[in-house]
A and B are shown apart, each in its own frame.
Chain A
Amino acid sequence: MNLGLGGLFWVVLQRDLMVAMRRWSDICNPVIFFVLVVALFPLALNPRAEFLRALAPGVLWIAALLAALLSLNQLFRADIEDGTMEQLLTLPYPLGLVILAKTLAHWLVTGLPVVVVAPMLAITYHLPADAIGILLLSLLIGTPTLSLLGSIGAALTAGLRQSGVLLALMVGPLMLPVLMLGARATDIALSGDDPTGPLYLLGALLALALSLAPPAAAMAIRISAD
């Protein structure tokens, strides 16, 4: 069978989505975790409306980051354990493309649900509608970057038995700029100013991660699969 590059991308994407659909809990767990973390803050702190409103951008972004970190563990692990990755390594195609397709599938399965749920949770934090729009937009641009950065860490630790905390420790600091920009964009919108600046910067980070992360993760996968 002869596939073009686009064809290969599409096949890997479809396959990963199908595998994910068959393991429903993989899709649900990150979102449930996201909702849980967001629900912790009013319980632990103070459920007053104006207080929560000020807290909302940061809390929602932190929860999204934690959910992304938590889900990363599964990104390449199953493929390495059942030998799929070895088959993919032997393909006469750039491995970075395969990684990109897998990361996109992973984001569609774990990141996108978080983005979709976020506005509803923002309402419980009494966030005004225009700030919710910016929150949605910033998460939509920012969480793929988180997945891409995470793919490097997931690839590095895919061969290790225990990697949960290690993965978070490694990738967490790399994700901080996305967190700062995303939360701040929402915060700026909340205070009525123009948030296009940080949104553009988030977009720039996404472009950078799209071009640099897949080859780095491909190199890391080669090392892990050794």
Chain B
Amino acid sequence: MWTWFFQLASPPHFYRMAASLVPWLLWPALLLILVGAWGGLVLAPADYQQGEGYRIIYVHVPSSYLSMMVYVTMAVAAGIGLIWRIKLAHAVAASCAPVGATFTAAALITGMLWGKPMWGTYWQWEPRLTSELILLFLYFGYMSLRSAFNDLNQSDRASAVLALAGVVNVPIIHFSVLWWAGLHQGPSISKIDAPSIAFAMLWPLLVMILGFTLFFLGILAMRVRGEVLEREFHSRWAQDVLRGVSRVEAA
């Protein structure tokens, strides 16, 4: 068990293993997203209140779910890297941030597009959108701290502390935004979280969430490969990998 774990944490081994893993993640992700999109956009009935407009949840909900999940993944990886000094964990955390920020931006944009037919305006200071906006700032802060250091080791550890401080704050921010929004507007905003959802609408959503998660893991594996290769650029195995690539290209 432990040898397996240590092997996984060794960059060259991870580099090879992730390469074989990527197609096993991305192809099922594509399949699930296609099935989910078909189920959500074609099979599921129109909502009697929101009409066809609600169908954007099939992108919005998985994106906003992942925007939070990726932050937690990033913080866990950063914590593992900080405590056990595993370089690979830092590479994972570094790779998570831009992906998570993209999901957050996607959740914001789809939320705004959804807001136009629902509220008649692109932006409402509604708790979920506000939380997503703050989350986006947290990602930006993390990424700019990471890029501010010249020393990679220092950058890894400093940004890990920030990620951990952020993950403690995420629930605090979430609940204070809920409280803050509750003071300003009535419960009409809960239109979005349909309390009970018909099965015909639900299953494509679950399929989409699963598809998006696999998509994230596939993208993450690809990014970590690149990150590891860049970090280990001067090591023997990385040079071998790079030379191998250039030889193939020359042929």
Interface residues of A (CB under 8 A from B): 149, 152-153, 156-157, 159-160, 162-163, 166, 169-174, 176-177, 180-181, 184, 188, 201, 205, 208, 212, 216, 219-220, 223-224, 226
Whether the pair A172, B137 counts as a contact (CB closer than 8 A) is yes
Whether the pair B164, A216 counts as a contact (CB closer than 8 A) is yes
Known: A170-B144, A176-B134. Contact between A201 and B158, CB under 8 A?
A: no
B62 within 8 A of A: no
B81 within 8 A of A: no
Known: A156-B162, A173-B137. Contact between A180 and B176, CB under 8 A?
A: yes
In the bound complex, how far is the Cα of B130 from the Cα of A177, in angstroms? 12
Task: Tell me the smallest distance from the CB of A96 to a CB of chain B, in Å.
Answer: 13
Whether the pair A160, B149 counts as a contact (CB closer than 8 A) is yes
B245 within 8 A of A: no
In the bound complex, how far is the Cα of B189 from the Cα of A180, in angstroms? 19
Whether the pair A216, B183 counts as a contact (CB closer than 8 A) is no
B210 within 8 A of A: no
Task: Tell me the smallest distance from the CB of A115 to a CB of chain B, in Å.
Answer: 21
How many A-B Cβ pairs are below 8 Å?
78
In the bound complex, how far is the Cα of B162 from the Cα of A172, in angstroms? 12
20 of the cross-chain contacts (CB-CB < 8 Å) are A156-B145, A156-B158, A156-B161, A157-B145, A169-B144, A173-B134, A173-B138, A173-B141, A173-B173, A174-B169, A177-B169, A177-B176, A181-B176, A184-B180, A201-B176, A216-B164, A216-B165, A219-B161, A223-B158, A224-B154
Whether the pair B165, A174 counts as a contact (CB closer than 8 A) is yes
Whether the pair B158, A224 counts as a contact (CB closer than 8 A) is yes
Task: Tell me the smallest distance from the CB of B36 to a CB of chain A, in Å.
Answer: 32
Residues on B with C-beta less than 8 A from A208 are: 172
In the bound complex, how far is the Cα of B166 from the Cα of A220, in angstroms? 14
Whether the pair B161, A216 counts as a contact (CB closer than 8 A) is yes
Residues on A with C-beta less than 8 A from B161 are: 152, 156, 216, 219-220, 223
Question: Which B residue sits closest to A180, measured CB to CB?
Answer: B180
Residues on B with C-beta less than 8 A from A157 are: 145, 148
Residues on B with C-beta less than 8 A from A219 are: 82, 161
Question: Which B residue sits closest to A187, measured CB to CB?
Answer: B183
Residues on A with C-beta less than 8 A from B144 are: 166, 169-170
Whether the pair A163, B172 counts as a contact (CB closer than 8 A) is no
Residue interface bits B129-149, CB-to-A below 8 A is 1, else 0: 000001001101110110011
Task: Tell me the smallest distance from the CB of A44 to a CB of chain B, in Å.
Answer: 22
Whether the pair B165, A152 counts as a contact (CB closer than 8 A) is yes
| CB contact list, B155-186 vs A, under 8 A | 157-158, 161-162, 164-166, 168-169, 172-173, 176-177, 179-180, 183
Residue from B141, B166, B183 with most neighbouring chain A CB atoms (10 Å):
B141
Whether the pair A163, B148 counts as a contact (CB closer than 8 A) is yes
Question: Which B residue sits closest to A170, measured CB to CB?
Answer: B141
Residue from B151, B158, B172 with most neighbouring chain A CB atoms (10 Å):
B158
Question: Which B residue sits closest to A168, measured CB to CB?
Answer: B141
In the bound complex, how far is the Cα of B141 from the Cα of A172, in angstroms? 9
Residues on B with C-beta less than 8 A from A201 are: 176, 179
Whether the pair B134, A180 counts as a contact (CB closer than 8 A) is no
Residues on B with C-beta less than 8 A from A226 are: 151, 153-154
Query: 8 shortest A-B CB distances, which residue pairs?
Result: A170-B141, A177-B176, A173-B137, A223-B157, A180-B180, A156-B158, A220-B161, A169-B141
Task: Tell me the smallest distance from the CB of B240 to a CB of chain A, in Å.
Answer: 31
Residue interface bits B106-117, CB-to-A below 8 A is 1, else 0: 000000000000
Residues on B with C-beta less than 8 A from A169 are: 137, 140-141, 144
In the bound complex, how far is the Cα of B148 from the Cα of A173, in angstroms? 18
